[in-house]
Amino acid sequence: MNTFLLMTDVDEIIEQLDEITADYDGKTILLAGGLGFLGRYFMSVFARLNETKFSEPCKLIILDNLITSGKASNYIDQYPEFKFLEQDITTPLNIDEHIDFVIHCAGIASPFYYRAHPLETADVAIAGNRNLLEVAKSNQARYTFFSSSEIYGDPDPKHIPTPESYRGNVSSQGPRACYDESKRMGETLCYIYNHLHGTATTIIRPFNVYGPGMQEADYRVLPNFASLIKAGKPLKVYGGGNQTRTFCYVTDAINGFLRAIAKGVPGETYNIGNPKPEISMVELVQHCSDAIGKKIDHNIIEYPDSYPADEPNRRCPDIRKAKLQLEYVPNVDLKTGLQRFLSWTDDNFVGEQ
């Protein structure tokens, strides 16, 4: 049994997906980045569906080069329908099986790691994407690329909440460009394959997903906070602390993703996140404190060298398109999500990365 996520969360995702799950019954899915935070949820949801719901098990081919995932676990071995290949997707892929869905959720998602690996970050969204698009094309599979809300850059306040039609305010240079610009090029490749070859591509732009299963050494804001909370130390808030984000609990996000992967209109792009509340990082400290019922101190500090400064001031999704086309509605409020996450990190983190 999977011990690195909450099984109650996995069951909640399946319950919310309801009849959408039928689209995956008996299908073969190529999952790139399968050992990452989101990839492990996909694996767990499909494993659970095989155990509880599917008339024919779905097969999973999981690719990951372990660059940020840590070691491969033997968790996969207990599922005969799942196969793990340690593979860098930027190198040629030899997939013999017929594939129904390609899910590209490989990437170097945490700013700390893309600062350390800028070329690998660009390659996985461009060369890796191209290799996977070829697999989708030759199999006539549905294809999903995990882009990012970062492709919007630093939007003018009049474009917040930000709809999919907003074209972005992004720099092609600087410490964040390897991530933002390669995701933009990745989207362009999906557009080309859709128009040139008729590949059924869907692009997802996730907005700050969090939840149990994040690694302590992930270095995104909530695992950073959780690690310091576990250590009983003041939280470190970078920059002025006034930059705002919205946070989407992982059950809501995976529900939205699996809806988009199965039902997204080919060629379309979907924001998936939770637009409420949009809060500053200083306010996030207060929300964490409310969630655990304990006062938490914080210090506002300069950006460390390991973290790319120049981050967007505000980030908040307009999710009306996903609501309308995919019936996607996030329903875990921030307090509940933080309680689940911080209680899980209290059991699983060692304190202060």
- Give contact residues for ligand NAD (rule: CB under 6 A): 32-33, 35-39, 63-69, 88-90, 105-109, 124, 128, 146, 148-149, 206, 208-209
Residue at shortest CB range from ligand NAD: 36
Q: How far is the CB of 3 from ligand NAD (least distance, A)?
A: 17
C-alpha 202/C-alpha 146 separation (Å) is: 9
Q: 58 vs 253, which CB is nearer to ligand NAD?
A: 253
Cross-strand partners of 101: 29, 142
Query: Smallest gap, in angstroms, from Cβ of residue 295 to ligand NAD?
Result: 28
3-state secondary structure of 207: coil
The one catalytic residue among 179, 219, 238, 270: 179
* Beta partners for residue 240, in sequence order: none
Residue 142: what residue type?
Answer: R
41 part of the active site? no
CB of 145 to ligand NAD, least distance (A): 8
Residue whose CB is less far from ligand NAD, 9 or 57: 9
Cβ distance to ligand NAD smaller for residue 50 or 110: 110
CB 79 within 8 A of CB 51: no
Alpha carbon distance 209, 225 (integer Å): 15
113 CA to centre of own chain: 15
DSSP 8-state assignment for residue 169: B
Least distance from ligand NAD to the Cβ atom of residue 107, Å: 2
Helix (H) or strand (E) holding 15: helix 7-17
Least Å distance between CB 64 and ligand NAD?
4
CB 180 within 8 A of CB 170: yes
For the record, the structure tokens of 56 come out as 């024919």
Q: What is the DSSP letter of 162?
A: B
Question: Can you read off the two tokens belonging to residue 174?
Answer: 């600087």
Minimum CB distance to ligand NAD smaller for 206 or for 308: 206
Backbone φ and ψ for 142, nearest 5 degrees, come out as -75, 140
Minimum distance from residue 108 beta carbon to ligand NAD (Å): 5
Q: Which is nearer to ligand NAD, 54 or 326 (CB)?
A: 326
3-state secondary structure of 295: coil
Indicate the burial class of 224 (C-beta count within 10 angstroms; 0-12, 13-18, 19 or more): buried
Q: Using the minimum distance from each CB to ligand NAD, give the nearer residue, 6 or 54.
A: 6
- Reported residue count of the chain is 353
| Catalytic residue numbers, as ranges | 179
